């Protein structure tokens, strides 16, 4: 059941490209926070009457405690513009038209059409959105800020890239140079139909030195082996190899997560790299202060896949966290900070550092 309520905008809390955060007065409830995606429902102002989807808040899901504007009754008309004919969220009431980088109308179409290889470009592949910040910081710290970092956001979680405060912050502080949204995800600097064309767009149009691929905020999981959207990590590794790139996997590691299935090497990583990935990648393990943690991880890896399937390397990831701190970027994963769950963030940072050091140099 979809829960729909009507409200009146009482205050604009924050505006940034593509997203407006607001308070709406809901009859019988009072003022509550909501998000408006300007590209979907048009601009919103104080006094507008809006229709809200309140399902996520009612179900106590992880949407930041906010509703979503479905329609602005005060400003019902929107100009969809002329460019592009690719629909994302197709055949739904919220379908949105974009100009895909690879479609004929795009100024990048010919360049992408003539690019059929990543030519060894390192591609850092993560499972959670929260790995994006330490991975990007690791790339920048290891390249003295010179490597051009392009983020491909898949449609495994949030579809509008505008929801991510992290992407906004990383671009503002120059840790992220460009974004591409693929599949049904939308709102990036470039749009792509799937992860293959997104990867080619990253090198042909965005001129990436290093690519990071991960879903947006809000991974879906069911506590089952295959019922989580993070299995895409293995599929993306396959795609990178098919296109001649160099896949670098971020293992999901934690010694702060209270759930046994995520202690040490997460069962998600074991599934994605052990079962879903049919091709090889480099798995970067962070240098950890606790030697027993490293031994636990190595034992779990030995049980997850054969020793000749992937290449294991170790890397110190601490400079990535130092870079984040120097830029004032605060990041959490599952509510935990780098101080509370160092292994998780060091793994992502180490992968970024390794990838930067193995990028192509013209």
Q: What one-character-per-residue DSSP string does 300-344 give?
A: HHHHHS-TTTSEEEEE--HHHHHHHHHHT----BTTB-TTTSHHH
Query: What is the chain's Cα-based Rg?
Result: 21
Segment among 66-80, 89-103, 343-357 with least mean pLDDT: 66-80
Q: Which two tokens stand for residue 170?
A: 């990383």
DSSP state of 108: T
Pick the CATH number of 4-72 from 3.40.50.10860, 2.40.50.140, 1.10.1040.10, 2.40.50.220: 2.40.50.220
- pLDDT at 361 (0 to 100): 67
Q: Where are the beta strands (DSSP E) in the chain?
A: 4-16, 19-26, 30-37, 49-53, 67-72, 86-88, 96-98, 122-125, 149-154, 178-182, 190-192, 210-215, 246-249, 253-254, 264-265, 282-286, 311-315
Q: Which two tokens stand for residue 117?
A: 């290889």
Is pLDDT of 246 > 60?
A: yes
State the first-to-last Cα distance of the chain, in angstroms, to the nearest integer: 55
Pick the CATH number of 109-357 from 3.40.50, 3.30.1490, 1.25.40, 2.60.40: 3.40.50
Confidence category of residue 309, pLDDT binned at 50, 70, 90: very high
- pLDDT at 80 (0 to 100): 62
Alpha carbons 174 and 177: distance in angstroms, whole number: 6
Average pLDDT, the chain: 94
- pLDDT at 63 (0 to 100): 62
Provide mean pLDDT across the span 251-278.
93
Strands of the 210-215 sheet, one edge to the other: 190-192, 178-182, 149-154, 210-215, 122-125, 246-249, 282-286, 311-315
Stretch(es) of the chain classified as CATH 2.40.50.220: 4-72
- pLDDT at 59 (0 to 100): 84
Q: Which two tokens stand for residue 185?
A: 């995800």
Higher pLDDT, 126 or 2: 126
Query: Which residues pair with residue 160 across a beta bridge?
Result: 186
- pLDDT at 139 (0 to 100): 98
CA 158 to chain centre: 8
- Tens digit of each residue's pLDDT (9 = 90 or more) over 310-360: 999 999 999 999 999 999 999 999 889 999 999 999 999 999 999 999 987
**H helices within 96-228, ranges in order?**
109-113, 132-142, 165-172, 195-204
- Tens digit of each residue's pLDDT (9 = 90 or more) over 55-69: 988 888 766 679 999
**CB 338 within 8 Å of CB 243:** no
**CB 24 within 8 Å of CB 9:** yes
Residue with tokens 């996997």: 249
- pLDDT at 72 (0 to 100): 95
């Amino acid at each position: 059941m979809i829960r729909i309520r009507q409200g009146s905008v009482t205050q604009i809390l924050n505006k940034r490209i593509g997203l407006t955060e607001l308070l709406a007065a809901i009859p019988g409830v009072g003022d509550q926070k909501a998000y408006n995606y300007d590209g979907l429902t048009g601009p919103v102002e104080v006094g507008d009457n809006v229709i809200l989807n309140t399902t996520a808040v009612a179900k106590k899901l992880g949407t930041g405690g906010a509703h979503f504007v479905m329609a602005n009754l005060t400003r019902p008309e929107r100009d969809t513009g002329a460019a592009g004919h690719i629909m994302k969220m197709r055949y739904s009431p919220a379908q949105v038209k974009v100009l895909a980088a690879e479609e004929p109308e795009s100024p990048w179409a010919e360049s992408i059409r003539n690019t059929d290889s990543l030519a060894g470009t390192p591609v850092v592949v993560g499972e959670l959105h929260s790995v994006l910040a330490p991975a990007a910081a690791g790339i920048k710290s290891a390249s003295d800020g010179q490597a051009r970092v392009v983020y491909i956001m898949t449609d495994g979680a949030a579809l509008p890239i505008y929801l991510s405060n992290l992407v906004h912050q990383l671009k503002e502080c120059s840790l992220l140079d460009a974004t591409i949204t693929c599949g049904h995800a939308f709102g990036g600097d470039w749009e792509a139909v799937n992860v293959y064309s997104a990867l080619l767009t990253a090198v042909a149009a965005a001129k990436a030195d290093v690519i990071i691929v991960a879903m947006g905020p809000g991974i879906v999981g069911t506590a089952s082996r295959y019922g989580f959207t993070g299995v895409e990590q293995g599929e993306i590794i396959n795609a990178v190899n098919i296109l001649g790139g160099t896949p670098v996997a971020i293992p999901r590691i934690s010694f702060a997560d209270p759930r046994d299935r995520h202690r040490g090497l997460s069962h998600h990583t074991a599934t994605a790299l052990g079962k879903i990935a049919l091709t090889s990648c480099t798995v970067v393990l962070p240098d950890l202060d606790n030697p027993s943690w490293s031994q636990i991880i190595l034992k779990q890896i030995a049980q997850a896949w054969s020793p000749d399937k992937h290449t294991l390397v170790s890397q110190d990831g601490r400079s990535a966290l130092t870079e984040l701190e120097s830029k004032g970027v605060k990041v959490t994963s599952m509510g935990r900070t780098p101080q509370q769950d160092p292994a998780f963030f060091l793994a992502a940072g180490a992968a970024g550092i390794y990838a930067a050091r193995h990028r192509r140099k013209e």
